[in-house]
Amino acid sequence: MSRDYAIYDVFTSRKLAGNPLAVVFDAEGLDTISMQAIAREFNLSETVFIGPVESPAHSARLRIFTPARELPFAGHPTVGAAIALAERAEGADSLDRVLVLEENVGPVRCVVRRADGPSFAEFDLPRLSSHVAGTFDPQAVADALLVSQADIGFENHRLSVWSAGVPFLMVPVRDLGVAASVRFDPVLWTRAVASGGDSTLAAYVYCRAGSDHRSSFHARMFAPDMGIAEDPATGAAAAALSGAIHHFDQLADGHHAFVIEQGVEMGRPSMIHLHIEAESGAIARARIGGEAVKIAGGRIDL
């Protein structure tokens, strides 16, 4: 059976930047083994499969795979799939669209803003970021990144694990120079995080500011357990980072907007928009957004 697919560059306004995503339409009938094999064939950081909904009130059912495993939630497949569905819709126009996407983490509400240029999608976090207990040796983490232990941490920010559906070990580093110098060793990394109780944790390296003047933070993400050497843009990690930002920066109640750049060292710059609504000393709501552009399309014959 043939199935349509499209390739989108996500969290970017221009082609051949951002994070590429394979979107497989009409995935009904594909089992988990077949989806995982197709994701390995595309060999992108993530492939999203769009199937029939479980609730008639929702827009589509998504299943998200890295080359190595399925994820309950991910940001760039959510943004890319929402835009792909809006652009594929019969009689697609410039009107904004609201979609509710079923993911393994739960329903995710998205808004797509159509434009003459790249479309923009924004979604409410289906799960707010929460702290995950764990103790890690800063020297072991530094060794896995080939940086000095003195380079780990800035201001109040320290090593910590946060999750908004997928957990990440947040590794704050002193500045852009240190972030650019990171040389990730997957063997040493797995050893470092295993001592903290979870050998599957991905590394999210971040610092204040960025190479783009609009950026609040600069980030890199490495996930050997997911089969991702380095990711150009990671919405799920940005969602998790919201908890670290609120905790370490002690955000006042109100609205806070951030732009997180990623993929710069890979030559695929990405811009992820993060909005946090703080109330009574906690995160009440948060959302992730970004642009996406279609780069290719075709059919899979299986």
Using 50, 70 and 90 to split pLDDT, how confident is the model at 191?
very high
**Confidence check: pLDDT of 94 > 80:** no
Q: What is the pLDDT of residue 99?
A: 97
Cα-flanking dihedrals φ and ψ of residue 240, to 5°?
A: -65, -40
**Confidence check: pLDDT of 258 > 70:** yes
**Confidence check: pLDDT of 97 > 60:** yes
Q: What contacts 267, CB < 8 A, 6 or more positions away?
A: none
Residue-by-residue DSSP string for 129-193: -EEE-----HHHHHHHHTS-GGGB-BTTB--EEEESSSEEEEEEBSSHHHHHH----HHHHHHHH
Q: What is the pLDDT of residue 96?
A: 87
Same fold, 2-126+291-301 and 130-288: yes
**Confidence check: pLDDT of 206 > 70:** yes
Provide the CATH topology of domain 2-126+291-301.
Answer: Diaminopimelate Epimerase; Chain A, domain 1 (3.10.310)
**Confidence check: pLDDT of 251 > 70:** yes
pTM metric for this prediction: 0.96
Q: Where are the domains of the chain?
A: 2-126+291-301, 130-288
Task: Give me the chain's average pLDDT, please.
Answer: 96
Cα-flanking dihedrals φ and ψ of residue 67, to 5°?
A: -60, -20
Q: What is the pLDDT of residues 17-74, one digit of tens each?
A: 999 999 999 999 999 999 999 999 999 999 999 999 999 999 999 999 999 999 999 9
Which of 248, 300, 227 lies closest to 34 in space, CA to CA? 300
Q: Where does residue 98 rank: exposed (0-12), middle (13-18), buried (19+ CB within 10 A)?
A: exposed
Q: What contacts 43, CB < 8 A, 6 or more positions away?
A: 67
Share of the chain above pLDDT 70, in %: 98
Active-site residue (options: 46, 103, 122, 291): 46
Number of Cβ atoms within 10 Å of the Cβ of 111: 17
Q: What is the pLDDT of residue 92?
A: 56
Give the largest Cα separation in the chain, rounded: 57
Q: Does residue 263 sit in helix, strand or coil? A: coil
Q: What is the pLDDT of residue 90?
A: 59
Q: What is the pLDDT of residue 91?
A: 57
Superfamily of domain 130-288: Diaminopimelate Epimerase; Chain A, domain 1 (3.10.310.10)
Does residue 46 have an active-site annotation? yes
4 in Cβ contact with 299 (< 8 Å): yes
Using 50, 70 and 90 to split pLDDT, how confident is the model at 116?
confident
Q: What is the pLDDT of residue 260?
A: 98
Cα-flanking dihedrals φ and ψ of residue 30, to 5°?
A: -80, 130
Using 50, 70 and 90 to split pLDDT, how confident is the model at 129?
very high
